[in-house]
Amino acid sequence: MKRILFSACVLAALPALAQETYQNATLAADDLNGTARYVGMGGAMEALGADISTIGSNPAGIGLFRKSNVSATGSVVMQSGADDVENGNKSVASFDQIGFVVAKQTGESSFLNFAFNYHKSRNFNQILTAANTLGSGSQNILAYASGMTTGKLGSTQNSDGGYTPTFSGSFPLYYSQLDQLYNQAVNFDASDGQYYNYLANDFVFGRAQKGYIGEYDFNLSGNIKDRVYLGVTMGIRDVHYRAYTYYTEGLMLSNGTGIGDVNVYDERKITGSGFNVKAGIIVRPIEESPFRIGASVSTPTFYSLKTSNYTQLNNGTSYGAYDNAENGEIYEFKLYTPWKFGFSLGHTIGNYLALGASYEYEGFDNLDSREDLGGYYDGWDDVYYESSASDDAMNEHTEMTLKGVSTLKLGIEYKPVQALAIRLGYNYVSPMYNKNGMRGYSDSFINSYGVGYSSTTDYTNWKATHRITAGLGYEYKNFTVDLAYQYNTTKGDFYPFQASYNDDYEEDESYCSATSVDFNRHQLSLTFGYRF
């Protein structure tokens, strides 16, 4: 056997591109991150305000600043219980935040404030591993089924009597890069020109993710007679995502005889930018009381992104046509995240106790995966316009797979003496994923570029997330130093490829059963600040 290079040119000629549900979900979710004070209180400061990290959650919180301020935050992020994976780091240093607030008094009790803040809204660093037995399916069976459905797979006989795989015309959008690698290197038999598929007795999977989403927020805020606080923030995001994945299947014949392993190595990179607008209000309904009520809203983040992959399949069996096959693509797409709404309460007692509670909702089932239609030049106005359209097939899959997410944040700060603060916080984040959700297919093939350009088949239906936080703060004259600890834990059901479902979207039989996985992360944050 020999090595081949295959590029998915049958797809690349088509201009409209989009991404798939599970990858979109990874890009759309945010972490709890910011100043150590904000993290230490579980982020429950949307009504309390006067912390620069509220610039992105409730912009009106910046209106509570009475003095100008500058701060910077760094952290160490550590994943516990993870196996060693090539290119994976269990512990990483992270620069999480830097920003300033300029507070200008405009009246006896009114201020007009301007602020800028950079923070990491998402830290992608994660190691995910799984291994299990397989019963009635394998990755190459799915590739075979997808290929046979297209009607495009064929063969031609060579002069030496052997056969070479041939492909007629462009493939449907549901036929992926990975399908092509399997069908060409493993499923095609060069001796008779036919395509076959094989069961797998077990699998081993590993992925190392790296990167972040950085957000640059510009805020204008103020207050009216120290009773009503208003704010608006313009946010610009940049995306830097990279994932290294390996997957191994031990193949066998129908009689249970093992025939060797097939290994797939994939590297995926996503970069791009987006923008959003946030607005908020905080009200003290009772003049004599510090009790506050807050509300906020954020537009979708409008992302323009580019992704690329390099994928290699190594066939360690004596079956199929090739020992090695590889492919890769580069394409652009757009993603619009859902609207986000928040409601919050805050109260202080004297100068020694602060209590905060916040609720946020995002309808991730409304993620809008969009086909990039390119653009056109308007010579009259000398303007270039870009256009896109919703990928209806993928968005229908997203609606079945993802759910609206509710986040509850609680926080408390206690000062036994004026210079020292002790903080505790807790978050509950409801599951984003339908427990029966699956990647790539529903009751039939999804005719979407998000499937056609995919190079992996795994997915994880993550369950609820719990965050427990604690922190300390110390003030000396105009200087502040804050320390926070965050423990983030999530459990999930991992699948190396799709499970089978009936028309009612309930589990009927499984090509593969779920493997339980955990994601446990610890973070230590340190913030230095100065008031002037």
**Residue from 25, 49, 33 nearest 293 by CA:** 49
**Residue 18's pLDDT band (boundaries 50, 70, 90)?**
low
pLDDT at 450: 84
pLDDT at 384: 60
pLDDT at 376: 57
Sign of CA dihedral 433, 435, 438, 442: negative
46 half-sphere exposure, CB direction, 13 A CA radius: 28
Average pLDDT over residues 517-521: 97
* Cβ-contact 483, 471 below 8 angstroms: yes
Q: How far apart are CA 394 and CA 449, in angstroms?
A: 9
Q: What is the mean pLDDT of the chain?
A: 90
Q: How far apart are CA 19 and CA 368, in angstroms?
A: 10
* Cβ-contact 439, 25 below 8 angstroms: no
Residue 241 covered by a domain: no
Average pLDDT over residues 79-90: 88
**Residue 506's pLDDT band (boundaries 50, 70, 90)?**
very low
pLDDT at 452: 86
Residue-wise burial string across 47-75, b where 16 or more C-beta atoms lie within 10 A, e elsewhere: bbbbbbbbbbbbbbbbbbbeebbebbbbb
Beta bridge partners of 331: 307
Pick from 10-14, 90-94, 310-314, 375-379: least confident: 10-14
Nearest-5° angle of CA 21, CA 25, CA 28? 135
Average pLDDT over residues 288-316: 96
**Residue 27's pLDDT band (boundaries 50, 70, 90)?**
very high
Q: How far apart are CA 88 and CA 370, in angstroms?
A: 31
pLDDT at 442: 45
Residue 120 covered by a domain: no
**Residue 12's pLDDT band (boundaries 50, 70, 90)?**
very low
Asked if the model's pLDDT at residue 439 lies above 60, the reply is yes
Q: Which helix (H) or strand (E) holds 21?
A: helix 21-28
Asked if the model's pLDDT at residue 456 lies above 50, the reply is yes
Please tell me which residue, 107 or 300, carries the higher pLDDT value: 300
Structure tokens at 168: 């007629």
pLDDT at 502: 46
**Residue 438's pLDDT band (boundaries 50, 70, 90)?**
confident
Number of separate domains in the chain = 1
Residue 193 covered by a domain: yes
pLDDT at 444: 58
Quickly count: other Cβ atoms within 10 Å of residue 479's Cβ: 11
Asked if the model's pLDDT at residue 503 lies above 80, the reply is no
Q: What is the pTM of this model?
A: 0.91
Going by the DSSP 8-state scheme, the letter that residue 161 receives in this structure is S
Structure tokens at 492: 């999930």
pLDDT at 449: 84
Residue 521 covered by a domain: yes
Average pLDDT over residues 238-255: 95
* Cβ-contact 119, 34 below 8 angstroms: yes
pLDDT at 498: 84
Residue-wise pLDDT for 369-415, tens only, equals 988 776 655 556 566 666 788 888 899 999 999 999 999 999 999 99
**Residue 493's pLDDT band (boundaries 50, 70, 90)?**
very high
Quickly count: other Cβ atoms within 10 Å of residue 398's Cβ: 23
Average pLDDT over residues 297-308: 96
Residue 159 covered by a domain: yes
Q: How far apart are CA 2 and CA 321, in angstroms?
A: 8
pLDDT at 215: 98
Q: How far apart are CA 225 and CA 109, in angstroms?
A: 5
Structure tokens at 129: 């591993």
**DSSP calls for 67-107:** S-EEEEEEEEEEEESPPP-TT--SEEEEEEEEEEEEEEE-S
Q: How far apart are CA 325 and CA 140, in angstroms?
A: 14
Exposed/middle/buried for residue 337 (C-beta within 10 Å: 0-12, 13-18, 19+): buried
Q: What percent of the chain has pLDDT over 90?
A: 73
Residue 322 covered by a domain: yes
pLDDT at 13: 39
pLDDT at 16: 47
Q: Which domain holds residue 521?
A: 2-32+127-210+252-270+291-531
Average pLDDT over residues 162-170: 87
pLDDT at 500: 66
Residue 50 covered by a domain: no
* Cβ-contact 173, 448 below 8 angstroms: yes
Residue 245 covered by a domain: no
Average pLDDT over residues 429-441: 89
Average pLDDT over residues 154-158: 92
Instruction: Write the secondary structure of 349-391 as one string of H (helix), E (strand) and C (coil).
Output: ECCCEEEEEEEEEEEHHHCEEEEEEEEEEECCCCEEEEEEEEC
**Residue 4's pLDDT band (boundaries 50, 70, 90)?**
low
Residues 6 or more apart from 397 whose CB is under 8 A from it? Answer: 20, 21, 442, 446, 448
pLDDT at 86: 85
* Cβ-contact 241, 269 below 8 angstroms: yes
* Cβ-contact 337, 28 below 8 angstroms: yes
Asked if the model's pLDDT at residue 504 lies above 60, the reply is no
Asked if the model's pLDDT at residue 72 lies above 60, the reply is yes
Average pLDDT over residues 206-214: 97
Q: How many angstroms from the chain centroid is the CA of residue 428?
A: 18
